Structure 1
Amino acid sequence: MNAPWDSDSFKLQDHPAYWPAKRKRDAKAAIALCDDVVAEENLELLYDLTYGLEPIVAAPALILHETQNALARGFAGWLSAKMNWQIDREIYQAKTINRDFNTNGWFRIVNEPEFYGPVQAGRPYILADDVCAMGGTLASLRSYIETGGGKVLGMTVLASGSGKNVQISLVGDTFARLTGAWAGKLVAAYPTEIGHELESVTEPEGQFLLRCPSYDRFRAGVDGARDC
């Protein structure tokens, strides 16, 4: 993470380049935002992580003519130029449902992004996005790339809610608590209701589910998200 999405000290959306990049497909604004926000120490961490390798930078973004948002792809391009890495120009997010600006947890769990395009099997990847909410978009892209034979080494985003790094992969204790939730009803119902196994949720998604007090509330949340 490079910056907080919303804090008392700084809000990414208050940067003058944010809305032109996010809503008006302004590539120059996206680059200017990256210049101001990306921390040098994070670039050093990425360099150490990929030392001796030549990763491809991929972004969870729609094809250009389907979106006005240049920020995720702009960050990926900025990062590839800065680090002298290749940028992916073949993997795209399918235009199924718009998740931008929707921070409702149920909506994001139910409406997972889909991707298409060839993966370069055997190659390492770094994922770059603009904002991390619950990590589902990045996790879905990671799954798509690794199913296609690529290897995701790491992820980076311009901002998260608090500006702190986010644990994406589900930790063991969280999974154990999810498995036992509501006398095992959650782990039994999740594949049918959501379409994949419970162990593939992200850590923020897992914590969100644990705050749900009952199976009935879970069903209400899922049904409500489908009706959006």
Structure 2
Amino acid sequence: MAVHDQYPIAKNKMLVDRSESVRAARQIIDELHDERVFERIDSYLRHGRKTKVLAPVKLPEVNSNALGMAYSYAIANAFGFEVEGNVFQTTEEKRDRKLDSLYRLALPPSFCGEIQSGVDYILVDDVFTTGGTLAGLRGYIHRQGGNVVVCSTIAAGQRATQKATRYDQRQMGVALAPTNDTICKLRDTLCEEYRAVDAVFCEGLRYGLQQLTEQEARFVSSQARTIRRYRGSVSEEFARKILETRSPGT
């Protein structure tokens, strides 16, 4: 998607020319979207229940990206649902511009706005990278009594689709929650330090290893192997890196 000639306009120009940015976002969605995605989303819906579509967009005065918003309206129009327009991502740091997975881990997104208890939500976003934003928004919704039935993005990064060799596998879905195999590999990698690393995450990030996404868990596992080989204590190194990443000016 990033190589599409309209991507810079849709991704970065909302604050400069809203109408042109939205037009570019709609063009990208029209050209990249597969109708089978609607069928996949429909299979998760609980028909007869009130359902809303929600994208983790930032507050209007700082949001420069039209893609998530445009995709939320595309999904809502396809099913006759309402777009939730009163919930926003309030994280100031530009996580979507940071390729470093530890940076994204150490700066989880935060949200504001009221979630309606008992309502089903379809979460949408532009690109699935590590899944941290969608996972954070899902937790925010569930804590307020809402229910997330399915998540959908326009595209997914190469790390998320690396095991999907066929086009239809890449198009139809990647894992948000960690698989049992990934968690088992993480436990095996951390060995006796699993509890210590889990405590570091709970203290520094407010959630433990079980709440990581599939891509985040793979990253922690790969980092743990490197740390153990060259630096010794995995928990101490993660604690140091998290504090360093969260420090002002980073």
TM over 0.5: yes
Map 1:101-120 onto structure 2 (within 5 A).
101-120=97-116
Give the letter for the 2:245 counterpart.
Answer: A
Q: Distance in 2 between matches of 1:95 and 1:226?
A: 13
Q: What's the counterpart of residue 189 of structure 1?
A: 200
- Whether the 8 Å CA contact 1:55–1:85 is kept in 2: the answer is yes
SS at match of 1:32: helix
| Aligned counterpart, 2:94 | 98
* Contact persistence 1:109–1:205 (CA under 8 A): yes
Query: How many Å separate the matches in 1 of 2:2 and 2:141?
Result: 30
Matched residue SS, 1:186: helix
2:60 to 64, 70, 78: 64
Determine the C-alpha separation between the residues in 2 that align with 1:99 and 1:66: 14
Q: Which has the larger radius of gyration?
A: 2
Distance change in 2, residues 1:49/1:157 (3 Å):
same
Which string of whole-angstrom CA distances, capped at 9 and with x for unpartnered residues, describes residues 45-103 of structure 1?
11222152442100011122212111111111121112211100111101422112212
Structure-2 change in CA distance of 1:182 and 1:188 (3 Å): farther
Distance 2:217 2:127 in 1: 19
Corresponding position: 1:173 with 2:181: yes
Which of the residues 228, 231, 241 maps onto 1:221? 241
Other-structure match for 1:158: 154
Deviations 1:146-191 (A, max 9, x none): 1111110000001111352321112233334434515223123221
Counterpart CA distance in 2 for 1:60 and 1:71 is 11
Gaps of 5+ in 1: 1-11
Query: C-alpha distance in 2, partners of 1:188/1:119?
Result: 30
Which of residues 114, 128, 135 in structure 2 aligns to 1:132? 128
CA contact 1:178–1:186 (8 Å) conserved in 2: no
Alpha-carbon distance in 2 for matches of 1:193, 1:63: 26
Per-residue CA deviations over 1:24-64 (Å, capped at 9, x if unaligned) read 11111111111111110011111222152442100011122
Runs of 4 or more above 3 Å deviation? 176-180
User: In structure 2, what is the equivalent of residue 198 of structure 1?
Assistant: 209
Q: Does structure 1 residue 27 correspond to structure 2 residue 36?
A: no
Instruction: Supply the distance in 2 between the matched residues of 1:217 and 1:177 (Cα, whole angstroms).
Output: 19
Going from structure 1 to structure 2, the CA distance change for 1:59 and 1:71 (only over 3 Å counts) comes to: same
> How many residues in Structure 1 have an aligned counterpart in Structure 2?
217
Query: What one-letter code is carried by the residue in structure 2 that aligns with 1:175?
Result: I
Cα distance in 2 for residues equivalent to 1:203 and 1:192: 21
Identity between Structure 1 and Structure 2 (%): 26
Structure number with the bigger relative contact order (C-alpha 8 A, sep ≥ 6) is 1
3-state DSSP class of the match of 1:65?
A: coil
- Whole-Å Cα distance in 2 between the matches of residues 178 and 191 of structure 1? 16
Indicate which of 39, 42, 45 corresponds to 1:44: 39
- Tell me how far 1:108 sits from its aligned partner: 0.6
Q: Using the TM superposition, name which of 23-32 and 121-130 deviates more.
A: 23-32
Name the CA distance, whole Å, in 2 between partners of 1:19 and 1:192: 38
Range moving further from structure 2, 190-199 or 105-114: 190-199
**Separation (CA, whole Å) in 1 of partners of 2:198 and 2:239:** 13
SS in 2 for 1:66: coil
